[in-house]
Structure 1
């Protein structure tokens, strides 16, 4: 749900830490600690060593060094830390310290945390990597990236990209009129490109032409044949020459989830005949010199570098023929595709990639040179729209665990009831007969007799209490069998899956549909891990449930040390006394805007932080999430009208003697307070 800024409390925190008594995150009286004891505080050497070994084991278990891109790690205290690049080198802050600071400032979980340093670093690294590849290959063109606004449209994000990217000439890509208005009003340097993709009406084109008139290099990338006539007509009206590009539909197919963005059945781009018609139309209008850009897009996340090489090679043929047909060209736009290694496997899996940034840049430069030099065609300016890679690492979803549901059996009664049914007696016999040499048989018997017992309950042969006893006995058997499975050399598929089928559910204070829509919609894997107690071994296997009343409101696909797992290893917690926090990482691309209002859980709180050159934590921006009143207005309710209806019902209850006037006032006060409150669980 796009943020309704008029209904938000937006606070820009002063960067002057001396003038802000809450500018440090260490002054709160109820701080969350990483661990009950801290290394370096008198711990025996062997204990400190043991903790260090466990921290290393947990780093391997959750894969933080593989998917963290060097931005995240585990501190000596056993907490996840963000390792932020600064002018004075890398500075680290524990995420628990940031959470303490958020609590001081009145921001409850869940919170979408943005770390500005990481965004700045990504913009810089992308441009510097292309500059290095261009310099080393003696490539005669330049690189001028553009950030596709659709990947993360939030105002502070776009402003920061424009600020950091200005020295590189890093521009913006717009796929709608709203995004074009953002680009025109945010970019300050005319050295930054604006690329207009998507379907364009007359107003869209007029806006882009105004950008041209004030000095921007604003390209219209033709997506459909009819756009060209509108561009030429409006250019005459405004007396300005347009900059035109064509989006080609490559036959190259790519691996991964976004393969439909490529190939003959791609939804976007012009066919070869349509491109020829564009050239002929421009020639007839005496405007062929306006055609200067070639664009293609193979997919948002391309896991295999070979697909990128193949796509560039095919696109070069289009580029060469357009030049030979008289178009000046000069710009080669590869679109998106630079992948994020979400699972840390460095593979061709759809959630990973088998290349790094440097290889990506070098391969593009080399492929262009190899194809163009043979024909004596000048090297074009390289453009990429690397949105996902740029913003994914900067954002982490933080939330607390509210409750745990488990499949642990209750203690069996002693003595057991008499006159038990045969299925329940058989379950008791199976329980006594568990043997590691017969685990498969024990498992099969437990399932068989449990099903017999359930059938007997359905026809009324046993009552509810006996069924409950039988279910508990079966659960005891399955747990005992599961404990022995790791000792087997070749366990069956049934026994392996038993470990996961008995896993806990940790209920988190968030909505999958609002904060992690891709996890539900396209089964995107995001790294998830606890933020504290990482000097302890996690003993529980769990899936994560959200607050919604929906069976899809869960996370059950995780990154682990060997690849992917349907469960996540977590620590046993005391729900009544312990604050246990989890983080979902690499969520900076698409998630905030695509989120929806399932169960009327609205936008969560957002905080932007920066780690200073001195290693201090600066809270740059806080945006309070939707109130209940906000989300009700989104679905066409009038909060004032709802209040009036409830007031009338309360008044009738007073007249009827059901409640007192004092109780009426309490009810109305609670109603009003709830309307102003956060849609998520409040502590």
Structure 2
């Protein structure tokens, strides 16, 4: 919300009062339509991070024979970078990055050159960031660009279009934060990428300031350890607006009821399976399986054991969740405010990640 209660009263209530006084009409009861604000709080989405691509520590490539002039210039600028040349080097690097597609389309550079230019571009931005670290306020344009560019990309097990359509459609900013490692300082900065094949499946605007900020404070990703993020205020139409984009279905849902001692999990509603989603678009899973069996049987040089394994994997895929699946144990703290003890051992899910120990289920919880 980009206004305060005082602004609302000054602009809306005051105007109504002025008109009523002018025409000697009784003061009305003002009722605002606030359904979205009231319902948003009842649900949240929990998503697990599956991988991270770090852009803050690029490897500087060695120049090959006869490199293009733009690459030579980037290398020379990086090697001669100093405080009195920060603006010049920054603008040259940004200009080179913006011209990449044009240069490639005109055969001025090769695909390998494109990759090298991007690496030098990132290396230059990192060098500039270190150089101006003690005087960031003196370079507002550069700092804004650095904060939007030098961020890690956290790949998460969800679909923006299915679970957060308002983020994509109307640039709605949702509160997002880690629910793990809250006793550690989040020293990384990142954006969130979903697992769809659509380039718009990204969250790159987060709460902070009047216009939001381009990155989110996150913890370093640890391979093999669960790292779950919570996306809040999703109860206002997000799930019902989801449109099966890329055939990602409904997420698992956990219903939670507040109690005097904390809370209790009352229900677990499993999300769509691959078979169910295929049925929505008129594909019959049984027919698909029959076709696959015939193709496997027709592969005469395929050993029987491998053939059976292929068929078993295919069946498991049809019966499985539309999101990534895998075992991820998640420790669950005591219920609610500490009262009530931990949840009993159960098979639960964190957006498709099954856990057979004490766990907190995920997806949309209400």
TM superposition score normalised by structure 2:
0.75
**Which residue among 55, 70, 78 is the counterpart of 1:407?**
55
Q: Aligned equivalents of 1:455 and 1:602: distance in 2?
A: 39
Q: Which whole-Å deviations, capped at 9, do the CAs of 1:600-632 have from their partners, x for residues lacking one?
A: 0000000012343223x4211110000001111
Change (3 A) 1:311 1:608: farther
Asked if the contact 2:157/2:194 (under 8 Å) is kept, the reply is: yes
- CA deviation string 1:357-403 (max 9, x = no partner): xxxxxxxxxx9xx9548xxxxx99x9876432332112111001111
CA contact (8 A) 1:526 1:585 kept: yes
Equivalent residue in structure 1 for 2:8, among 284, 291, 304? 304
1:434 aligned onto 2:77 = no
Given that residues 507 and 544 in structure 1 are in contact (C-alpha distance below 8 angstroms), is that contact kept between their aligned partners in structure 2? yes
Q: 1:627 aligns with which of 265, 269, 273?
A: 273
| Contact 2:191–2:203, Cα closer than 8 Å, also in 1 | yes
Partner residue in 2 for 1:612: 259
CA contact (8 A) 1:485 1:496 kept: no
Correspondence for 1:533: 181
Report what 2:149 is aligned to: 501
- Does residue 585 (structure 1) correspond to residue 232 (structure 2)? The answer is yes
Cα displacement string for residues 466-508 of structure 1 (whole angstroms, at most 9, x for unaligned residues)? 6544442332111111334452333152442232123222111
Note the C-alpha offset of 1:409: 4.3
**Inter-partner Cα distance in structure 1 for 2:81 and 2:124:** 8
The question of whether the paired residues in 2 share the 8 Å contact of 1:423 and 1:450 is answered with no
**Do 2:178 and 2:228's aligned partners in 1 also have CA atoms closer than 8 Å?**
yes
Cα gap change, 1:463/1:592 in structure 2, threshold over 3 Å: closer, same or farther? closer
For the pair 1:520 / 2:168, whether they are aligned, the reply is: yes
Q: How does 1:36-435 map to 2 (within 5 A)?
A: 304-305=8-9, 309=13, 371-372=25-26, 386-412=34-60, 416=62, 419=65, 421=67, 422-435=69-82
Please give the root-mean-square deviation of Cα atoms over the aligned residues, in Å: 3.5
Gap regions ≥5 residues in structure 1? 1-66, 68-254, 257-302, 318-366, 374-378
Distance, in Å, in 2 between the alignment partners of 1:524 and 1:495 is 24
1:554-573 equivalences under 5 Å are: 554-560=202-208, 564-573=212-221
Aligned partner of residue 137 in structure 2, secondary structure: coil
Alignment partner, residue 676 of structure 1? 319
Within the candidate set 468, 482, 485, 2:129 is matched to: 482
- The structure number with the bigger radius of gyration is 1
Displacement of 1:598 in angstroms is 0.6
Aligned 8 A contact 1:401 1:509 in 2: yes
Q: Which region of structure 1 is more displaced relative to structure 2, 448-457 or 474-483? A: 448-457
Change beyond 3 A, Cα 1:424–1:554: closer
Q: How far off its partner does 1:578 sit?
A: 2.4
- State how far apart, in whole Å, the 2-side matches of 1:676 and 1:473 are: 46
Aligned pair count reads: 319
3-state SS of the aligned residue for 2:177?
A: strand
For 1:488, what is the secondary structure of its paired residue? helix
Q: 1:622 to 1:461 in 2, by over 3 A?
A: closer
Rounded to whole Å, the distance in 2 between the matches of 1:556 and 1:445 is 25
Residues 312 and 405 of structure 1, relative CA distance in 2, 3 Å threshold = same
2:63 and 2:31 map into 1 onto residues whose CA distance is 76
Give me the whole-angstrom Cα distance separating, in 1, the residues matched to 2:131 and 2:42.
42
The aligned residue for residue 544 of structure 1 is 192
Give me the whole-angstrom Cα distance separating, in 2, the residues matched to 1:455 and 1:387. Answer: 48
2:291 aligned to 645, 654, 665, which one? 645
Deviations 1:197-233 (A, max 9, x none): xxxxxxxxxxxxxxxxxxxxxxxxxxxxxxxxxxxxx
Relative to structure 1, is the Cα distance of residues 406 and 393 closer, same or farther in structure 2, using a 3 angstrom cutoff? same
What is the TM-score with the length of structure 1 in the denominator? Answer: 0.42
- For residues 449 and 557 of structure 1, the distance between their equivalents in structure 2, rounded to whole angstroms, comes to 25
Question: Do the aligned residues in 2 keep the contact of 1:508 with 1:547 (CA within 8 Å)?
Answer: yes
Separation (CA, whole Å) in 2 of partners of 1:622 and 1:434 = 57
- How many angstroms does 1:664 deviate by? 2.8
Tell me, yes or no, if the aligned pair for 2:253 and 2:268 is still in contact at 8 Å: yes
Q: Distance in 2 between matches of 1:525 and 1:452?
A: 31
